[in-house]
């Protein structure tokens, strides 16, 4: 896809030519016959207004088809400032404006998670970018909130429904305080650059991320951490839906890298129109039927401001992480076979998800556990291979390693579950893989994970002992 006008403005003699060899400037819009300004798909050109109709239709039909948003509902929109979420914001603004043919029926609130600490530097450039994002959010006129990825270390998990019914304690344990969400207010205050995240917290998070040995595990960990923070913010602010702006290209990459990281059972949750694995909060992906180029084109044609924030693997080699490799793979294939992205996304559309109402969920990503597999399984085969190639008698060296693997949980409760092997029991296959590459102390991990793991193990123990325990130990290690 390319913008025809770009070429003309440059005064280039070479007119853009489609793959079929015919000149594109001459070809009219496939809808109305007006001169086309851009080419989508293979060689269909669109004029500007028909392209807008096309994009808006894809966005609205995704919302409409799903029938998930009720009239007048308020939703939280995750806004990173990047191309996709900027386009989503613009589409929402446009759909709510008076000139829209049928106005959208929901009310958005924006939330930005500042992830600048991942890069490990604090620079004026980053501060300027932050300020620009803040300005865009305020200018939108929607209520806007700001938080930092560091806060994910402090959030407390909601009690699982099972323990909630037993202990009718605090109504909302997810809120020790609400200081971690900053209301940006309505008035644009030009010189108020958002603060750098608190230094100590940033260090803590950076150390934690660095304790994962590979970029693959780091990216996977950050991804899940971000999602959990979004969920916590939505719960805190009383939202039941979060809109995120993954394009189809992004989703295609996600589908393949999910599969490559053992998250096959989660593909449909991770990439479908909605994701209900987190209790009470649903993720929705309303621009999933538009690809990255269409959204970028939309931004460029309609002058949408975007802010580029570098990620962990920006400007690294293609082999630096599975996600980075997959991105290169998909975009490369897409260039040769233009149906690649839609093929992949369509495949995932036919996949069913696990039952999200199950109680045995991963303590981190909240997906139903996929580790209860039969004897003939990949997991079983790996365990057997390990059994075959490791000594039957534990030698002193190996034993020592195992001890350092599992220190006693640091906050004084002498529960054995914070040791790594126990923790892994409460995680799904994919999260286990990431944690496998973690060589830090388990006390560095976010409370969220360790708390949930603790509960899940207690639940399991309780189930095993049911009938022998007398009703009294409910509150033993409940809320920390």
386 scored as a contact of another protein (CB under 8 A):
yes
Which of 380, 407, 416, 480 is close enough to bind another protein by CB under 8 A?
380
Determine if 340 is a binding residue for another protein (CB under 8 A).
yes
Structure tokens at 41: 């798909």
Q: Helices 48-66 and 83-96, interaxial angle, to 10°?
A: 90
Give whole-number Cα distances, 187 to 93, 233, 404, in Å: 18, 22, 53
CB of 178 to another protein, least distance (A): 38
Choosing from 390, 400, 402, 460, the residue that interacts with another protein (CB under 8 A) is: 390
Pick between residue 80 and residue 215 the one whose CB is nearest to another protein: 215
Contact 378, 385 (CB under 8 A): no
Give the integer Cα–Cα distance in Å for 315 and 337: 25
Tell me if 273 contacts another protein by CB under 8 A. Answer: no
* 8 A C-beta contact, residue 304 and residue 86: yes
Q: Which of 13, 350, 396, 399 binds another protein (CB under 8 A)?
A: 350
Window contacting another protein (CB under 8 A); options: 15-23, 62-70, 95-103, 375-383: 375-383
Rounded least distance, CB 240 to another protein, Å: 24
Binder to another protein among 16, 35, 82, 354 (CB under 8 A)? 354
**Choice between 184 and 344, CB closer to another protein:** 344
Q: Is 324 exposed, middle or buried (0-12, 13-18, 19+ CB in 10 A)?
A: buried
Question: Contact with another protein (CB under 8 A): which of 45, 148, 216, 247?
Answer: 216
Residue 222 found at the interface with another protein (CB under 8 A): no
Q: For residue 370, what are the CA distances in angstroms to 206, 432, 434, 459, 460?
A: 30, 11, 15, 18, 16
Angle between helices 215-237 and 322-336 (to 10 degrees): 90
Query: Is 319 near another protein (CB under 8 A)?
Result: yes
Q: What are the beta bridge partners of residue 112?
A: 146
What's the closest the beta carbon of residue 398 comes to another protein, in angstroms? 9
* The one among 17, 373, 474, 479 contacting another protein by CB under 8 A: 373
Q: Is 73 in the site for another protein (CB under 8 A)?
A: no
Q: Does 376 bind another protein (CB under 8 A)?
A: yes
Token couple for 94: 């446009």
Tokens, residue 137 = 């959010």
Q: How far is the CB of 435 from another protein (least distance, A)?
A: 13
- Told to check if 352 binds another protein by CB under 8 A, we report yes
Concatenating the DSSP letter of every residue in 194-250 gives PPPPPHHHHHHHHHHHHTBSSHHHHHHHHHHHHHHHHHHHHHHHT-SEEE----HHH
Q: Does 353 bind another protein (CB under 8 A)?
A: yes
The answer to whether 120 touches 337, Cβ cutoff 8 Å, is no
Q: E strand or H helix at 85, and its extent? A: helix 83-96
Our CB check for another protein shows the closer of 395 and 471 to be 395
Its sign, for the CA torsion 30, 32, 33, 38, is negative
The verdict on 391 binding another protein (CB under 8 A) reads yes
Shortest spacing between CB 58 and another protein, in angstroms = 19
d(CA 434, CA 211): 11
Q: How far is the C-alpha of 324 from the C-alpha of 312, rounded, in Å?
A: 10
Contact mark string toward another protein, 405..444, x via CB under 8 A: ------------------------x---x-----------
Interface with another protein (CB under 8 A), residue total 51
Cβ partners under 8 Å of residue 205, min gap 6 = 117, 149, 150, 152, 153
Query: Rounded to a whole number, what is the largest CA-CA distance in the chain?
Result: 86
Identify which of residues 382 and 469 has a Cβ nearer to another protein in the complex: 382
* 237 near another protein (CB under 8 A): no
Q: Could you say whether residue 258 binds another protein (CB under 8 A)?
A: yes
Q: Look-up: residue for tokens 């440059």?
A: 10
> Shortest CA distance to 168 belongs to which of 480, 476, 477, 475?
475
Binding residue for another protein, selected from 23, 172, 186, 214, defined by CB under 8 A = 214
Considering only 329, 356, 444, 477, the residue that binds another protein (CB under 8 A) is 329
Kindly tell me which residue out of 67, 101, 102, 375 binds another protein, with binding defined by CB under 8 A.
375
Shortest Å, Cβ 98 to another protein: 38
Residues 230, 218: contact at Cβ < 8 Å? no
Q: Give the interface with another protein as residue ranges (CB under 8 A).
A: 214, 216, 255-256, 258-265, 267-268, 319, 321-322, 325-326, 329, 333, 340, 343-344, 346-348, 350-354, 370, 373, 375-382, 384-386, 388-391, 429, 433
């Amino acid at each position: 896809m390319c913008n025809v006008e770009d070429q003309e403005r440059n005064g280039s003699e070479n007119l853009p030519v489609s793959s079929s060899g015919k000149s594109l400037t001459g070809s009219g819009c496939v809808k109305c016959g007006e001169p086309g300004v851009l080419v989508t798909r293979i060689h269909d050109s669109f004029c500007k207004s028909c392209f807008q109709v096309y994009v808006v239709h894809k966005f609205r039909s995704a919302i409409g088809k799903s029938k998930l948003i009720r009239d007048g509902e308020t939703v939280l929109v995750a806004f990173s400032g990047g191309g996709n979420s900027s386009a989503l914001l613009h589409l929402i603004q446009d759909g709510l404006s008076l000139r829209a043919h049928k106005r959208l029926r929901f009310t958005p609130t924006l939330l930005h998670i500042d992830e600048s600490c991942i890069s490990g530097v604090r620079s004026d450039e980053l501060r300027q970018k932050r300020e620009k994002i803040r300005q865009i959010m305020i200018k939108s006129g929607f209520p806007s909130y700001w938080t930092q990825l560091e806060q994910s270390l402090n959030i407390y998990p909601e009690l699982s429904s099972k323990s909630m019914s037993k202990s009718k304690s605090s109504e909302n344990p997810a809120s020790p305080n609400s200081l971690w969400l900053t209301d940006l207010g309505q008035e644009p205050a030009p010189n108020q650059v958002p603060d750098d995240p608190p230094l100590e917290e940033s260090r803590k998070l950076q150390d934690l991320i660095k304790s994962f040995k590979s970029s693959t595990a780091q990216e996977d960990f950050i991804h899940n951490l971000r999602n959990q923070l979004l969920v916590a913010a939505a719960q805190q602010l009383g939202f039941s839906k979060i809109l995120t702006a993954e394009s189809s290209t992004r989703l295609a990459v996600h589908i393949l890298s999910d599969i490559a990281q053992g998250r096959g059972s989660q593909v449909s949750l991770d990439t479908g129109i909605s994701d209900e694995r987190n209790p009470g909060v649903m993720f929705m992906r309303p621009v999933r039927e538009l690809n990255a180029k269409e959204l970028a084109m939309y931004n460029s044609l309609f002058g949408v401001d975007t802010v580029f924030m570098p990620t962990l693997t920006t400007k690294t080699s293609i082999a630096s992480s599975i996600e980075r490799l997959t991105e290169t793979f998909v975009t490369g294939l897409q260039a040769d076979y233009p149906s690649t992205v839609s093929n992949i996304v369509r495949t995932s559309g036919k996949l069913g998800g696990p039952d999200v109402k199950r109680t045995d969920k991963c303590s981190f990503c909240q997906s139903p556990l996929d580790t209860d597999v039969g004897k003939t399984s990949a997991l079983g085969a790996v365990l057997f291979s390990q059994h075959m190639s490791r000594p039957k008698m534990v030698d002193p060296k190996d034993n020592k390693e195992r001890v350092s693997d599992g220190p006693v949980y640091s906050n004084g409760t002498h529960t054995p579950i914070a040791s790594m092997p126990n923790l892994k029991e409460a995680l799904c296959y994919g999260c286990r893989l990431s944690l496998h590459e973690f060589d830090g102390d388990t006390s560095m991990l976010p409370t969220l994970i360790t708390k949930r793991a603790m509960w899940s193990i207690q639940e399991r123990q309780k189930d095993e002992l049911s009938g022998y325990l007398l009703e009294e130990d409910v509150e033993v290690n409940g809320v920390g």
